[in-house]
Amino acid sequence: MRRSICYCEPSAALAGGTSTWKFVYTTASHLPKGTRLRFELASKGRPLDWQVPHTNLKEKENLIWGEVLEGKPVQATAVPNSPAAYEFTLPQELKPGENFSIFIGHPSQDPKKGNACQKTVQRKRPFQLLIDPKGKGDYKEGETFYLDVRGSQLKTLRVIAPSLVARNKRFDVIVRFEDIFGNLTSNAADGTLIELSYQNLRENLSWKLFVPETGFIALPNLYFNEPGIYRIQLRNLHTKEFFQSPPIKCLPEGALSLFWGLLHGESDRVASDEQAETFLRHMRDDKALQFFATSGGESEEETANDTWKTMTQQVAEFNEDDRFIAMLGFQWQGEPKEEGLRQFLYSKDAKPILRRKDTKNNSLKKIYKTNNPKELLAIPCMTMSKATCYNFADFNPEFERVVEIYNSWGSSECTTKEGNLRPIQGKATQEAPDGSIRKALNSGCRFGFVAGGNDFRGAYKSLHTTETQTRYSAGLTAILAKEQNRSSLMDALQARSCYATTGERMIVGLHIAGHGMGTELDTKTRPGLEFNRHITGYAIGTQPLSEVLLIRNGKEFKSFTPKEDRFEFELDDTELLGEIALDTRGELPPFVYYYLRVMQKDGHIAWSSPIWVDLNSRAAPLIITKKTKKRGVGE
């Protein structure tokens, strides 16, 4: 049986390139005059998608038209309510073996006037052609064109390496060769060589790398034999461009490792609810995340049952110890102020989505009552947005172990007047002081800090569609854990052993008396803390640092102005704990807390999780002074 033929000219394209694309359909059957053909470009019209062409042939560039036997142009008609679908009506019959061609670009073949290819790489990118011989719009037959989209010209060299390593412990590094859009590419000038070396190594070590066909190279079994801060350096010997990895801190011995990822976030490239497998692969490989959690909305309109089932299966499939930890999560929005917006995170597979329309899941109290805090983590998000505010009055310390201090729509650290560096601002929503994280910490709530990425679903949809809403860079969460597996990462979150950044892989550490982020100390087991708290910390930036700020009880305690990309400090807080402690007049003893906020010269920020010191030694009663009475401490 004779079959129709579909092919493209050219058969491959470079991401982001412009040209005139030709799609040739050779029919295997007779098509009468008046036959309707529908061509679907499968583009959403976003900047990274395939450019949507014009149908008016009087336009000077980016046109779509058809031709029968290389004859007079056939006008295309845009399909209503579909951003990239077009219909053609045959002006004459087509016999078997004759062609109908669709062009996108410009008749002059001038690339400057042509049509732009999508900016993402894709093997066998499909274009659908539907055919209705009766001309009534009842499409039952279909054909598909396939075109390969390859990486564009080599632009960037990216190194994926661990942030913390132990001395003499071997680790692997991946070098990615990327185009201007972040795609893997091998499209480089002939003979291009990449020189790889290490910063701060005593030995004069350098390697020469070719640009591989795969677009990446894995370098196994590297190690450092001395503690210090290192960077892997790459130089394109053809273009003389220089690149380097984020910092790598080598410790004398490593009790904990540092893992980067997202517990809440979406991608501009791939929709998580439409292509779960492609989405997770994008987060693992292109974004180089070491852990990731799904975060679709709980309603059936946002996450249908079939979508949740598919996502559940893919999360279980992608979860792989020591490579990529995939976790199941979803967003749940309750009453403003009392409940706010939550990212729920499961520690196990095959768990149900908790829909608010169900009576047993229509309030946080019911959810907390029927679930185990060791298996379900609740992360308050966007607490300082008026639309999703959470005032922490019903804060649950068992389930709410960490709070999202930042995502791409702003920070909930404090108000603008109190020094918020990336405030929530715009017409769609503004900051709500009741949801201030510092205010919650001062009232006795205890939680660590994580960061979210970009999101344009659910509660964030109105922010995304409003041009006046300020949008910042997508954040990242760093987790300090013993191993890269789901159990260890969840244990670390429970222990608040984590910190947040605005997207850069900055290395941050804070310790009091040798104890790290998220720790609760007390004067009963360590009486000396009443008189002196020995604080050490460090920050290593991907760019030079501009400020390192130590926050105590919600206010600036010490400020440093580094001149380089790394900074370490050591100090003693010798003020009597009884004079500076906060008293919530509740179940908690008087306390003081500290956290670190680091800022780079390029504007990126990192927040360490807090450390608390409780005044609960019977031998050390709270000292009542005029200073403490002003803060409402004591009676």
Indicate the helix (H) or strand (E) that contains 277.
Answer: helix 276-281
pLDDT (0 to 100) of residue 203: 57
The domain total for the chain is 4
Collapsed DSSP state (helix, strand, coil) of residue 478: strand
Q: Could you report how far apart the first and last alpha carbons of the chain are, in Å?
A: 94
In a domain, 632, yes or no: no
Per 3-state DSSP, what percentage of the chain is helix, strand, and coil (rounded to 5)? 10, 40, 50
Mean pLDDT over 487-514 rounds to 98
Strands (E), 434-576: 448-451, 476-481, 498-501, 507-512, 520-522, 533-540, 545-552, 555-560, 566-573
Over residues 555-590, the pLDDT tens digits come to 999 999 999 999 999 999 999 999 999 988 777 899
**314 and 423, same domain (yes or no):** yes
> Do 556 and 496 share a domain, yes or no?
no
Mean pLDDT score, 609-618: 86
- With 80 as the cut, is the pLDDT of residue 308 above it? yes
One domain, residues 167 and 284: no
- Residues 633 and 624: their CA atoms lie apart, in Å, by 8
279 and 238, same structural domain? no
Rounded CA separation 606/421 (Å): 11
At residue 85, the pLDDT reads 95
Is residue 6 within a helix (H) or strand (E), and if so which, with residue range? strand 5-9
The answer to whether residue 108 is domain-embedded is yes
Domain for residue 626, yes or no?
Answer: no
Do 370 and 519 sit in the same domain of this protein? Answer: no
In a domain, 555, yes or no: yes
- d(CA 597, CA 501) in angstroms, rounded, equals 10
SS3 state of residue 437: helix
> Of 505, 473, 342, which is closest to residue 408 (Cα–Cα)?
473
Assign residue 569 the CATH number of its domain: 2.60.40.10
What is the spatial order of strands in the sheet that 5-9 belongs to?
A: 5-9, 21-26, 99-105, 63-68, 73-75
- 45 and 129 together in one domain: yes
Burial class (CB in 10 A: 0-12, 13-18, 19+), 6: middle
Question: Is 344 in the same domain as 377?
Answer: yes
CATH of the domain at 211: 2.60.40.1930
Range of the domain at 235: 156-254
Pick from 71, 67, 58, 135: nearest CA to 103: 67
Please check whether residues 354 and 210 belong to one and the same domain.
no
Kindly state whether residue 181 falls inside one of the protein's structural domains.
yes
Same domain? For 553 and 418 the reply is no
Q: pLDDT at position 464, please?
A: 84
Contacts of 275 (CB under 8 A, 6+ apart): none
Contact 278, 270 (CB under 8 A): yes
Which residues, in sequence order, are CB contacts of 20 under 8 Å at separation 6+?
103, 104, 105, 106, 107, 109, 111, 114, 115
- H-helix or E-strand spanning residue 279: helix 276-281
Task: Look at residue 202 in the predicted model and tell me its pLDDT.
Answer: 53
Of the pLDDT bands very low, low, confident and very high (cuts 50, 70, 90), residue 617 is low
Residue 15, burial from CB neighbour count under 10 angstroms (0-12, 13-18, 19+): buried
Which H/E stretch holds residue 370? Answer: helix 364-370
Contacts of 162 (CB under 8 A, 6+ apart): 171, 248, 257, 258
Of 114, 134, 150, the position where a domain reaches its end is 150
Coil/strand/helix, residue 127: strand
Joined tokens for residue 524? 């009963």
* pLDDT recorded at residue 620: 45
424 belongs to a structural domain: yes
pLDDT of residue 625: 45
- Is residue 576 a contact partner of residue 530, using CB atoms and an 8 Å limit? yes
Give the pLDDT mean for 9-31: 95
Confidence of residue 60 (pLDDT cuts 50, 70, 90): confident
Q: Does 330 fall in a domain?
A: yes
For residue 329, give the CATH number of its domain: 3.20.20.140
Residue 38: CB partners within 8 Å, gap ≥ 6?
A: 79, 85, 86, 87, 88, 128, 129, 130, 131, 132, 139
Please, which pLDDT band fits residue 623 given cuts at 50, 70 and 90? very low
Q: Using one digit for the tens of pLDDT, what is the confidence trace for 386-416?
A: 999 999 999 999 999 999 999 999 999 999 9
**pLDDT surpasses 50 at 41:** yes
In this structure, the answer to whether residues 33 and 141 fall within a common structural domain is: yes
The residue out of 93, 120, 150 marking a domain boundary is 150
Q: Give the integer Cα–Cα distance in Å for 548 and 569.
A: 10
Identify whether residues 410 and 453 lie together within a single domain: yes
Please indicate, yes or no, whether residues 574 and 559 belong to a single structural domain of this protein. Answer: yes
Q: Which residue among 239, 254, 269 closes a domain?
A: 254
561 exposure class (CB count in 10 Å sphere: 0-12, 13-18, 19+): exposed
Q: How many Å apart are CA 289 and CA 379, to the nearest integer?
A: 20
Quickly state the pLDDT bin for 1 (edges 50, 70, 90).
Answer: very low
| pLDDT tens per residue across span 73-113 | 999 999 998 889 999 999 999 999 999 999 999 998 888 89
Compute the average pLDDT of residues 297-305: 94
The verdict on residue 627 lying in a domain is no
